[in-house]
Structure 1
Amino acid sequence: MSRRRLGQLEAEVLAVLAGAGGFLSPQEICDRLDGEPAYTTINTILFRLLDKQMVERTKHGRAYTYRLTADESGLAAERMFGHLRLAHDPSAVLSQFVHGLSPHEEAALRALLEDPGGET
């Protein structure tokens, strides 16, 4: 089994919570992730996300359940901005990104670039 970097696993936990639309237990999150991550690892990630105020938790019986409080699209965009800011050649990074888009994603990007305010 290959190990994921903590940042990647954190992003996967956020994606699971974003798709849930409600509260999930750490075990439910583990069950929805590939690769059978350790329950304790998921708990650690949830504590860090709680500290960053990206999730909230509520008591459910003797355990806690968690829900996403941050905007997933904003979080993803901020990660992308971070990578661009750190790149020696941001244009090359953007070029690689665009070339990796699916036809559907490319069409969505073109529509946004042609009408950034969505006023069509």
Structure 2
Amino acid sequence: MALSRRPLGQLEAEVLAAVAAGGPISAADVVARIPGEPAYTTINTILFRLHDKGMLARVRDGRQFLYRTAVDEARVVADRMHDHLRHASDSGSVLNRFVQSLSPEEELELRRILAERGAAP
């Protein structure tokens, strides 16, 4: 059975989301929450890296660590999106494609947010 591979940034985001959804959480519990049967060693390495980056806090629980988020997940994702826009040669096209890919519910939420800021008709 061939497993599909995710880009590391995507897997990091999935790990961060899994921890945010139910921390403090062990590496084994994170593995169980991520689809596609990721290897325990891969998840453990990502947890260590996210801890080293200051994105996760951890406490020892016997022989394992339990992780919880140390940063606001929404801020992290928004910063990544902003970095991508900053490096795009045509940020308008990127935003257009992003908006086209939104679900109807996501589009309504975006419209609500923009209306609150006074930026949408």
Q: TM-score, normalised by structure 2?
A: 0.90
The residue number in structure 1 matching 2:11 is: 9
Q: The residue matched to 2:68 in structure 1 has which SS?
A: strand
Alpha-carbon distance in structure 1 between the residues aligned to 2:29 and 2:96? 38
Give the alignment's Cα RMSD to 1 decimal. 1.2
The residue number in structure 2 matching 1:42 is: 43
Q: What displacement does 1:109 show?
A: 1.1
The residue number in structure 2 matching 1:33 is: 34
The residue number in structure 1 matching 2:82 is: 81
Q: What displacement does 1:43 show?
A: 1.1
Per-residue CA deviation, residues 48-80 of structure 1 (Å, 9 max, x unaligned), is 111111001111112111111110110110111
Q: TM-score, normalised by structure 1?
A: 0.91
The residue number in structure 2 matching 1:18 is: 20
The share of aligned pairs that are identical, in percent, is 54
- Match of 1:2, as an amino acid? S
Q: The residue matched to 1:115 in structure 2 has which SS?
A: helix
Alpha-carbon distance in structure 2 between the residues aligned to 1:7 and 1:100? 19
Alpha-carbon distance in structure 1 between the residues aligned to 2:48 and 2:102? 33
- Match of 1:9, as an amino acid? L
The residue number in structure 2 matching 1:110 is: 111
The residue number in structure 2 matching 1:65 is: 66
Per-residue CA deviation, residues 12-47 of structure 1 (Å, 9 max, x unaligned), is 000101111x21110110011111111111111111
